[in-house]
Amino acid sequence: MKQFVPVRWNVAILAACLLLYPLLFSDPFYLDIGVTFLLAAISASAWNIVGGYAGQVSVGHSMFFGVGAYAPLLFYTLFGWTPVAGIPFGIAASIVLAIVIGVPTFRLKGHYFSMATIAVAELIRIFFGTWQFVGAAIGLQGPATARGWWDLTFRSEVPYYYIFLAVLGILLGLTYAIERRRFGYSLRAIKAGERAARSLGVPVQLAKMRALVLSATFTSIAGSLYSLKTGFIDPDSGFGILISVQMVIIAALGGAGTLYGPLVGAAILIPLQTATNTWFGGGGSGLTYILYGGIIVLIARFEPGGVFELWHHIIPQRWRSKLAA
């Protein structure tokens, strides 16, 4: 029992910090960073289920994000529904996509899944750019002003902050539960060695498929939250390669396949991104991408376990045991 106490303290402190953040930093600039951080953490945690725990590296998760982002605004544009009502349709479409990709590629080993994700994401991005039904290259817009509370269109960032925080809480709780259940062990066994896992009776294909569907669902929700907040979506902000890159880099930076990895990664990357955007003036010059590319290569080359492992290398064993005590 004693063993679990420090963990719960950590959770309580983390939760308190996240809950109090809008009260301590009420300046819109810092609130915006907070909201961006939460959204990035949700997306990366969703990616983490299939990419981190199961080791099936998707480089095209923007397809789920984009579908989730388009659905609310599409149903608003077509029928004038509240954007929230579109969320389940986004999830359904994402699950269909997950099945289309997962069923053929999960039978095969290795890189097929990664290749299929990037090809399908690009296919959908180009297709949405030419499809008039979803606004082609111009995209879709949400309600300009809220018709009622049910539109979830707020002037202030604070309500979004707490909605996003609640979703992140649910997702992390779910991931924690998975981690400790048979399903979680199956996923990690698959990551460590697929053939060995199969020989020990792990239903490899089914487990990978469940992980992908779960991951797609939450990525789609993240996309819906994004378009609810911005009230606008176009092919690049929904399906752009940067969306996928960000999920991968945040999870890998913090530690792919760990519960708090995506949180740590987002806490490092989002302020860094805000800083580079302020210094270099937006993403137009491509410097953000150069930075991301460089970080990804360095992680892959030197520290595939993310900063968590880096920490273990830097801090000597004795220190760590003192800190833990």
Partner 1 sequence: MLLLQVIVGGLLLGAIYALFSSGLTLIWGMMNFINFAHGEFVMLGMYVALLVVLWFGGGPAVFSFASAFALFVLGVVIYASLIRYVLRGPMLSQILSTFGLALLLRYTVFFIFSANFVSLPQTSLSGTVNVGGILMPVPQLVAGVVAIILTVGLHLLLTRTTVGSKLLAVSEDRNAAMLMGIRPDRMQALAWGLSAGAAGIAGALMATAYPWSPSVGETFGLTAFVVVALGGFGSVPGALYAGLIIGLIQALSAFWFGPIYKDIVVYALFVVLLWLRPQGLMGKA
State the minimum distance, in angstroms, from the CB of residue 88 to partner 1. Answer: 25
State the minimum distance, in angstroms, from the CB of residue 224 to partner 1. Answer: 25
State the minimum distance, in angstroms, from the CB of residue 51 to partner 1. Answer: 8
Question: Residue 232 is which amino acid?
Answer: F
State the minimum distance, in angstroms, from the CB of residue 109 to partner 1. Answer: 9
Q: Residue 84: which of 225, 247, 278, 236 has the closest Cα?
A: 225
State the minimum distance, in angstroms, from the CB of residue 166 to partner 1. Answer: 30
CB 36 within 8 A of CB 270: yes
> Site map for partner 1, 54-73, x if CB under 8 A?
-x-x-x--------------
Q: Is 32 in the site for partner 1 (CB under 8 A)?
A: no
In angstroms, how far is CA 309 from the centroid of its own chain? 21
Residues 148-187 contacting partner 1, CB under 8 A: none
Q: Is 76 exposed, middle or buried (0-12, 13-18, 19+ CB in 10 A)?
A: buried
Q: Residue 97: which of 116, 115, 72 has the closest Cα?
A: 116
> Which range in 52-60, 75-83, 84-92, 266-274 contacts partner 1 by CB under 8 A?
52-60
Cα–Cα distances in angstroms (integers) from residue 278 to residues 28, 271, 272, 273, 288, in the given order: 15, 10, 10, 9, 11
Task: Return the residue of 99, 158, 163, 241 that touches partner 1, per CB under 8 A.
Answer: 241
> Site map for partner 1, 288-307, x if CB under 8 A?
-xx-xxxxxxxxxx--x---
Q: Is 111 in the site for partner 1 (CB under 8 A)?
A: yes
The Cα–Cα gap between 267 and 250 comes to 9
CB 171 within 8 A of CB 233: no
End-to-end CA distance of the chain: 15
Q: HSE-up of 90 (CA within 13 Å, CB side)?
A: 34
Q: Is 248 in the site for partner 1 (CB under 8 A)?
A: yes
Q: Which is nearer to partner 1, 115 or 275 (CB)?
A: 115
CB 214 within 8 A of CB 49: yes
By CB under 8 A, name the binding residues for partner 1.
51, 55, 57, 59, 100-101, 103-105, 107-108, 110-112, 114-116, 118-120, 122-123, 126-127, 129-130, 241, 245, 248, 252, 256, 285-287, 289-290, 292-301, 304
